[in-house]
Chain A
Amino acid sequence: MSSFNPYTQNGGTILAIAGADFSVVAGDTRQSEGYNIQTRYAPKVFRLTDRAVLAVNGFAADGNMFVKKVKQRLEWYRHAHAKDMPLRSIARLIQTMLYSRRFFPYYVYNILGGIEEDGSGAVYSFDPVGSYERETCRAAGPAQSLLQPFLDNQIYFKNQQPAPGMSHPTHLPLQAVLALVIDSFTSATERHIEVGDGLEMYIILGKGRGLQGLEGVKGVQELTISEDGERIFVVRRELKKD
């Protein structure tokens, strides 16, 4: 008998893009094992605080457990300090939590998105053992190879020359980012069997920065109660079925 393998891959793909004062974290909702679809709705993106959202991808059981433990640590922090943990601190917390399992890792790629204390949009990406980096955009999961070069081109403007006297923007407006996220997942759904069913996009807006056109987005739903602080919205879409 072959020895017990504690890991499996559950497909799906996640993606996050940071704007100047907002952050978008997205993931599809299909969960599969091999050619078998286990469910068409298994969220991979989770709201941690009013300004932090975590997307997890890889081994779903580990992902869910890891999110649970992060949430627990954040609650303890709230009880101890009477405030939410800042984003960069959550990032460092995730690193130590992942590295503490260096020799029996959570088989999960994490992407953390949200708003920093200075009000800027941020994305942190992690490997399963806690190496991390703050970036403007990141895709992870089986369709990473399809999406990341597309983001290089459309977000970082790689291989594109700005018009004479012009320069490329360092951050894109929210509307443009949402359009790119939807296009990215449409592409990945078209060409990758593990991506599909539903798309969940979490949008984290900086404090007092207005809705930036989000009010016009179909099916947008606010998750935060107060309009005073950072605000989190979610947009759910069906992905193409053919």
Chain B
Amino acid sequence: MEYNGGSVIAMVGKDCVAIASDLRFGNQALGIASNFQRIFPVTDRTYVGLAGLGTDVTTLRERFRYRVNMYTIKEERDIEPQTFAHLVSSTLYEHRFGPYFVEPVIAGLENTSSGSKPFIAAADLIGCLNFAKDFVVAGTASSKLYGLAEGLWEPDLGPEDLFETISQTLLNGVDRDAFSGWGAVVHVITKDRVVTRTLKGRMD
């Protein structure tokens, strides 16, 4: 996980969810790029973030895209975030004894009879799912993100407050991590749109 660095976090708000990550791609201590996207759209209201080894981030993104496309064609509907979380889990568990070195984070809005419901989940590198009600973290700055999120997050934040909370959590977390940082990207998902913002961060 420390080979390329990088961290991801997702948080639940009131009728919204947010997912954010840093943009560093490094080779151990050496920074290679500050534009490495590790969060990908799955549907128009579900996103997945992959923290871990760069090559596996790309490989899994491609595998997930393929499997989600097959699902969409067969089912003739978008995949639900919870279903996608299980897809992620089983894809990772297929490689139980020779895993992809990736910790995925999923954030999205579930379809329910009464509209939509925020959903977040995270998994370890072999697909053990963690359905948290508040926030999930992954990557090299995870311990810092836990400490910050535990202190800053509160229930029922609106999209703007959630954006501020997740941004402050991520930025201050990665600033204490040598393997993460170099800018950040934040997606706030609400029922009728997704707002994506790229944040400037410390470049050291």
Chain A residues near B (Cβ < 8 Å): 143, 145-150, 152-154, 158-160, 183-184, 186-188, 190-191
Flag whether B98 is at the interface (Cβ < 8 A).
no
Q: B interface, how many residues as a size bin?
A: 10 to 19
Q: Say whether B151 contacts A187, CB under 8 Å.
A: yes
Known: A145-B143, A145-B144, A158-B175. Contact between A150 and B168, CB under 8 A?
Answer: no
In the complex, residue of chain A having the shortest beta-carbon distance to the beta carbon of B153 = A187
Chain B, residue nearest A160 (CB):
B168
Interface of A is mostly: helix
B residues within 8 A CB of A146?
A: 143-144, 146-148, 150
CB of B108 within 8 A of chain A? no
4 other A-B residue contacts (CB within 8 Å) besides A150-B147, A153-B152: A150-B151, A150-B172, A158-B172, A188-B147
Interface SS of chain B: helix
Distance between Cα atoms of A186 and B176 in the complex (Å): 21
- Chain B nearest CB: distance from A64 CB in Å? 27
Q: Give the Cβ gap from B134 to chain A, nearest Cβ, in Å.
A: 10
Contact A149 B144 (CB under 8 A): yes
Asked whether B151 lies within 8 Å of A184 as measured between CB atoms, the reply is yes
Contact of A187 among B147, B173, B176 (CB under 8 A): B147
Which residues of chain A come closer than 8 Å to B167, judged between CB atoms?
159
**Inter-chain contacts of A160 with B (CB < 8 A):** 168
CB distance from B92 to the nearest CB of A (A): 24
B200 CB → nearest A CB, Å: 10
On chain A, the residues within 8 Å of B172 by CB distance are: 149-150, 152-153, 158-159
